[in-house]
Amino acid sequence: MAKLNFFICLFGFWISFFDIQTECFHGHRLLKRHRALFIFGDSQFDPGNNNYFNTTSKADFWPYGETFFHYPTGRFSDGLLVPDFIGGAGALKETRAGLVIDLKTQLGYFKNVSRLLRQKLGDEEAESLVSRAVYLFSIGGNDYLFPFETNSSIPCTFSVEQFVGQVMGNITQVVKEIYKVGGRKFGFPSLWPLECLPFTRRLELEGGKKDACFEPIKPYKEEHNKQLPKLLQKLQSDLKGFKYSFPDFHTLLKQLINHPSKYGFKEGKVACCGSGPYKGILSCGGKRDVAEYYLCDNVTEYLFFDSAHPTERANRLLAQLAWSGEPNITGPYNLKALFES
């Protein structure tokens, strides 16, 4: 993977700067070219920005961060996240309003940063940085989980296709706005098997089914993973220079959940930290609504750290897939190819 030089946490999303080595066209000397990685999305990719905002979705307390940092950074894991190896929120404004930073708000922060870059670097250098950057998103999961957490009327008000269409509409607007500013290269991993998280398994158990995934959310995830690549293909057709990666996180995580030993894990369904069945209650650290929690002895044996977020070890596998996976599992480009293009 690329060497990470430094990163900046600004205005609710994450910017990382890398040195990418490429062979000089007119010789054999290797040249270093700076590349930026802009991170948008939810708690799966949040390095701790929520620490600095008036939200209740935080992980700034022990045992979060225990493995790599040895102190809490705000990351929802025991250590590093996928973007850490590569270099929180929903697409709809209504999703967990007041708890997380929605996608359009993050877009506003990005526009502020792009103006700041122009002031600091000048128009030409700033435009070059923005156009060569990769924009990596983790989005959609909260939008589909939230209605089932809150007994919302959404499942009765909208069809699956209509609701997913709203999410796609907001994603489209944000991508086009970033494109207007100069962004050209985008990464959108597929949605995870949301129905089989420790959190959602607990919901299904409460409904009387043992050792089962939470089926009501499955059609939303499937429709999202069906519509998103079509949307990206259309954007590639409509927008000159638009390139994208669509890493298949879903298939890998499904394998990790169902066959953990194949990848060196001992547990793929129960979280390392939390309480209740499957440790599916988000009580890790005891700082939320439920104070009681249990922490496993060896986090490296677990796929999930808390009720909805993977361990550092699992994040590394996801990052490897996104960075260097073959086209059949990453779409037209993997992230390495996007950075080098």
Query: Given the structure tokens 């307390």, which residue do they identify?
Result: 61
* 9 strand-pairing partners: 14
Measure CA 18 to chain center: 19
Is 250 an annotated catalytic residue?
A: no
- Collapsing DSSP to helix, strand or coil, 140 comes out as coil
Residue pair 217/144 in contact by the 8 Å Cβ criterion = yes
Is 26 an annotated catalytic residue?
A: no
Question: What tokens were used for 49?
Answer: 């920005």
Q: Catalytic residue, from 16, 43, 138, 190: name it.
A: 43
**In a 10 Å sphere around its CB, with 0-12 CB exposed, 13-18 middle and 19+ buried, how is residue 119 labelled?**
exposed
Nearest in space to 319 (alpha carbons), one of 130, 136, 47:
136
Main-chain phi, psi angles of 31, to 5 degrees: -105, 150
Is 306 an annotated catalytic residue?
A: yes
Q: Catalytic residue, from 78, 114, 283, 309: name it.
A: 309
Q: Catalytic residue, from 42, 78, 248, 306: name it.
A: 306
248's CB contacts (< 8 A; 6+ apart) are 189, 190, 321, 325, 329, 330
By annotation, the residues acting in catalysis are 43, 306, 309
